[in-house]
Chains A and B, each alone.
Chain A
Amino acid sequence: MRGILKSREAILALAILVLLALVAMRFPAFILPGNLVNVLTDTSPLIILALGQMVVILTKCIDLSIAANLALCGMVAGLLNMAGVPIVVILLAVIVLGALLGAFNGLLVWKLGIPSIVVTLGTMTIYRGIIFVLTAGKWINAHQMSPEFKDFPRAILLGLPVMTWIMIAIVLVFTVLIYRTPLGRAFFAVGGNPHAAVYTGISVGRTQFAAFVIAGTLAGLTGYLWVARYAVAYVDIAGGFELDVVAACVIGGVAIAGGAGSVAGAVMGALFLGIVKNALPVVGISPFAQMAISGIAILVAIAFNARSSRPKGRIILKQAEHRVVEGSA
């Protein structure tokens, strides 16, 4: 098991290096340290959300409302800033609001047992709709934001922007949380075998609730970072971003059926997409091709995942099904 996981991440790391080499052949300046830092910073929101989505997917759930949560918290951050609230309070507010929005998803999944895809499909439209109700569709533009608000994520600290440091800190916290705490083990246990998890004393619903709260908290924090960095807030920011986040997880080897995944995988999955996004305009491929390329990357990644994580049980059935497929083809 360990060996497979390691080799899968090695393959992904290799794919990223090959990608960088291909881009460098056409445009060597892309791999200069300064530009790589830019790519890393640009990909930070995706990395942060991919980690949040990963814990949700580990517990056999999915959070489609993660981008709407981000947009709502980002808009609230913008509104608070216009009201003259200091940055520290804004940061606290978006983190609490994000956690609450995540908790709402989690409660519906935990207490009412509604499938997460239905819950988050609903809350996704609700959260985005609330932004419209709050603002009547108006934008918050750069000139309406205070300089401190905009500068915080971009301020350079020891050679890297604060936003990138926040991402790195979250990755470190997650590494400890996932591999060194009971909650981290519970995520894998609940996704790997819910019945066995119950027998070992783990509450499946409570663990799923915790996963949603974590994902929501990260979405809330990223909401502020997003709005401050791009210096604009409106209803549709990060529209469709939830699919990029799921894609990053899938490319990173997180099993959609739950129970398998790694922090390094999710981070690299997000980096892969981030590099593709930043490299396309540089090598002269139309940015419109990005969507199709990430689609192909997702499909290749799922095929890879399925190959290495095919369950060992039920071998007779698998063979029987495959014989039918081959016979009919």
Chain B
Amino acid sequence: MTATSTSIRGREIPDRLVPGWKRALKSWETLLFVVAVAIFIANSLASPYFLDPWNLSDASFNFTEKAIIAFAMAMLIIAGEIDLSVAAIIALASTAMGMAMTAGAPVPVLVLIGLATGLICGAFNGFLVAGLGLPSIVVTIGTMSLFRGLAYIVLGDGAFTGYPDAFGWFGQGYVWWVFSFELVLFVVMAIVFGILLHATDFGRRVYVIGNNATAARFSGVRVDRIRFILFLLTGLMSGIAAICLTSRLGSTRPSIATGFELEVVTMVVLGGVNILGGSGSIPGVVIAALVMGLVTFGLGLLNVPGIVMSIIIGALLISVIALPRLWKMART
């Protein structure tokens, strides 16, 4: 028994409880928040155009769509699964809306079709993972190819354009002053998912599944049903993101939202969610979304090309995870 405990180590249990405020001060979210504030200050010093409410509002468009998917993805990853097909779902949902638009469907129908496509794709992923027991990472690599492949079959190298003006509101409209529909949606979804994950028994079960699915099953948690619901949620959020993105761009190409899945996963991991499942929080993901948005916007103001920003995002992802581990190694 002693021999096994050296290699199969459980979670460390502290000798005495650390006071709540001390724990909060040392938490990942706090560290990330400090990073966000630092970037905010650096940006406002580097560019005179940064501290303008309209500029900041414009800048929010570069993370809101990804962030609303990231909330659902965070829950999925906490439960020990992953969905790499989210960007492909956006492509397929956008294509479906484009087809309906060409057939003359009114705006509410377009929205319904976007949502329904997201739900159907999510249900398909959920069925393969929860129903058939297949590993989610390869399943969603497969469905990523399939969903985007269907968009390519419909569109080839063409595009759908000419969405009705009213449809543009979801991606370009403002609810009040500088607060765009997308920004309000981001805040509302952050609250909804925060409550769902941190204040409901559904959320507790998500953590339990991520920490030990076998134990969860024996404790009466309907593991597969919850996994299915999480895939459904991620699909639905991708459908909503598809509506916003299509509305904002005003067109659909089969290559729409390419690479979104990686940025969404980066956002979630940056937000402190353990990629192996079991821990993480929605506030962390919210701050991570702001950090990524601020970095991209700030560098954009400084005329840094997009691909260099992606280097910085990649380096940020690795270093925020590597630094605490290096720190720990240096201390022991």
Contact = CB atoms under 8 A, between A and B. Distances in A.
Contacts of B276: 115
Contact of B224 (A129, A250, A294, A325): A325
Given A118-B269, A256-B138, A108 B307 contact: no
B139 A302 contact: yes
Interface string B289-332: 00000000000000001011011011101100110011001000
A108 B152 CA distance: 37
A299 B310 contact: no
B66 interface: no
A322 to B, nearest CB: 8
B256 interface: no
B133 A306 contact: yes
A118 B308 contact: no
B209 interface: no
B132 interface: yes
A121 B265 contact: yes
B266 interface: yes
Interface string A102-125: 000000100011110111011111
B128 A299 contact: yes
Interface string A282-312: 0000101111111110110011001000000
A118 B130 CA distance: 24
Interface residues of A, number: 55
Main secondary structure of the interface of A (DSSP, over half): helix
A132 interface: yes
Contact of B326 (A112, A126, A243): A112
A206 B133 CA distance: 31
A181 to B, nearest CB: 25
B156 A288 contact: yes
A291 B313 contact: no
Interface residues of B, number: 57
* Max chain B C-beta neighbours (<10 A), residue from A112, A195, A198, A329: A112
A288 B138 contact: no
Contact of B132 (A290, A298, A303): A303
Contacts of B214: 314, 317
A112 B141 contact: no
B131 interface: yes
B262 A123 contact: no
10 contacts: A112-B322, A122-B266, A122-B314, A124-B262, A125-B262, A256-B135, A295-B149, A298-B141, A321-B224, A325-B130
Given A121-B317, A292-B146, 10 more contacts: A122-B318, A126-B315, A137-B307, A286-B153, A286-B156, A291-B149, A292-B153, A293-B149, A302-B142, A306-B132
Which 9 pairs between the two chains have the least Cβ-Cβ distance?
Answer: A292-B149, A295-B146, A295-B145, A129-B311, A291-B149, A298-B142, A125-B314, A122-B318, A288-B152
